[in-house]
């Protein structure tokens, strides 16, 4: 098991290598061999229960079907042998689906034996390495590797060659409400939008802003601004208060600035409490101001 996990970071090809302990087995008719490529009936191949990808682009799948219909399968799929005339897909679901659509009754397949954990690792690694997975599918893949293979985020980072911060950002998406996760999957909002929404603790506020993103086409920066106002409601009030000093304070500020030869700042809240700030530019300047204050 450890050897298989070490192979994870090197990609699917490393995981598919037959171990020394894996035996060469023939089925009853001696037509398929574990560790070889054979033509298998598509009806004998079960779907991969660990397939992270949930969406397959119809047009691209149809184009692949047309290609297979005219040119056949160029790259075999990979399956694991479950028993007599019974196989389970490890990788190549698009090719299998397209082959069925093209009307093929058999498909070339690389046959091997794999445990459930190895199946999960191989399926996830193959899909993580693809560029067309949506953010939620990537996040679910990371979470499955952590849960099923008992990995920490640091270990996962080492194995798949991704920065830990990147992994953490993806995993945080799974804390969002299901409605927002669906919008990410459907590409109605981006991962940038989602990362801004995560900082809101109120689910209703998250959903309300998501609705605005979809309906008004808000940019990530605009969403970050909305979220910042919700999370820091006093920020705008403080700025307004600072700019609304009574007339007498402005006169005193000017007088003090001249007296201490420094740019004095006065901050005051609505209740009349505040601070007078006298800046200095060096130790010598500090000593000068202290002398004046005596």
- Show pLDDT as tens, one digit a residue, over the chain (294 residues): 443 333 333 334 433 333 333 343 433 333 455 667 889 999 999 887 766 566 677 888 888 889 888 888 888 988 988 877 889 888 888 899 999 999 999 999 988 877 777 777 776 766 676 656 788 988 988 888 888 778 889 988 887 788 999 999 999 999 999 999 999 988 899 999 999 999 998 999 999 999 999 999 999 999 999 999 998 877 555 555 455 788 888 888 888 888 888 888 888 888 888 899 999 888 888 888 888 887
The residues that bridge with 81 in the sheet, in sequence order, are 87
Q: What is the pTM of this model?
A: 0.52
User: What number does CATH give the domain 1-19+116-175?
Assistant: 1.10.10.2830
Task: Judge contact between 94 and 61, C-beta under 8 A.
Answer: yes
> What pLDDT does 236 receive?
54
pLDDT at 12 (0 to 100): 40
Question: Which of the listed CATH numbers 3.40.50.720, 3.90.1530.30, 3.40.50.880, 3.40.50.2300 matches domain 23-112?
Answer: 3.90.1530.30
| Long-range contacts, stretch 78-83, CB < 8 angstroms, 24+ apart | 78/16, 78/109, 78/110, 78/112, 78/122, 79/40, 79/45, 79/109, 79/110, 79/111, 79/112, 80/111, 80/112, 80/113, 80/114, 80/119, 81/25, 81/27, 81/32, 81/34, 81/111, 81/112, 81/113, 82/46
Q: Record the tokens describing residue 103, joined without a space.
A: 């009307």
Residue 14: the pLDDT is 38
Active site residue 93: yes
The ranges assigned to domains in the chain are 1-19+116-175, 23-112, 186-231, 241-293
Q: CA angle 129-133-136, nearest 5°?
A: 115
pLDDT value of position 19: 36
User: Can you tell me which residue has the tokens 């403080």?
Assistant: 238
User: Of residues 22, 23, 93, 187, which has the active-site annotation?
Assistant: 93
pLDDT at 26: 36
CB 125 within 8 A of CB 15: yes
The confidence score (pLDDT) of residue 23 equals 41
Q: What's the token pair of residue 217? A: 């086409």
In sequence order, the β-bridge partners of residue 274 are: 268
Helix axes 164-172, 135-148, angle to 10 degrees: 110
d(CA 90, CA 52): 12
The answer to whether the beta carbons of residues 69 and 77 sit under 8 Å apart is no
Which of 42, 48, 32, 41 is CA-nearest to residue 112? Answer: 32
Cα angle value 97/100/101 (rounded, 5°): 85
């Amino acid at each position: 098991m450890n050897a298989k996990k070490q192979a994870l970071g090197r990609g699917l090809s490393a995981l598919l290598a037959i171990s020394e302990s894996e035996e060469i087995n023939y089925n009853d008719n001696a037509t398929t061999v574990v560790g070889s490529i054979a033509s298998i009936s598509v009806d004998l191949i079960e779907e991969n229960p660990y397939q992270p990808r949930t969406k397959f682009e119809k047009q691209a799948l149809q184009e692949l079907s047309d290609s297979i219909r005219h040119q056949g399968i160029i790259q075999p799929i990979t399956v694991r042998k479950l028993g007599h005339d019974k196989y389970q897909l490890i990788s190549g679901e698009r090719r299998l689906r397209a082959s069925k659509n093209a009307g093929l009754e058999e498909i070339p397949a690389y046959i091997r034996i794999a445990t459930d954990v190895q199946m999960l690792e191989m399926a996830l690694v193959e899909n993580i390495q693809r560029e067309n997975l949506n953010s939620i599918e990537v996040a679910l893949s990371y979470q499955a590797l952590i849960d099923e293979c008992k990995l920490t985020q640091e270990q996962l980072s080492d194995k798949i060659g991704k920065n830990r911060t990147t992994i953490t950002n993806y995993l945080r998406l799974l804390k969002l409400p299901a409605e927002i996760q669906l919008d990410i999957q459907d590409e109605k909002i981006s991962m940038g939008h989602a990362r801004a929404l995560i900082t809101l603790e109120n689910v209703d506020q998250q959903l309300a802003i998501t609705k605005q993103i979809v309906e008004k086409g808000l940019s990530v920066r605009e969403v970050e601004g909305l979220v910042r106002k919700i999370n820091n409601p006093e920020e705008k009030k403080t700025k307004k208060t600072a700019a609304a000093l009574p007339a007498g304070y402005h006169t005193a500020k000017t007088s003090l600035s001249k007296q201490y030869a420094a740019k004095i700042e006065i901050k005051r809240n609505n209740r009349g409490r505040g601070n007078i700030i006298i800046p200095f530019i060096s130790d010598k300047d500090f000593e000068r101001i202290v002398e004046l204050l005596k």
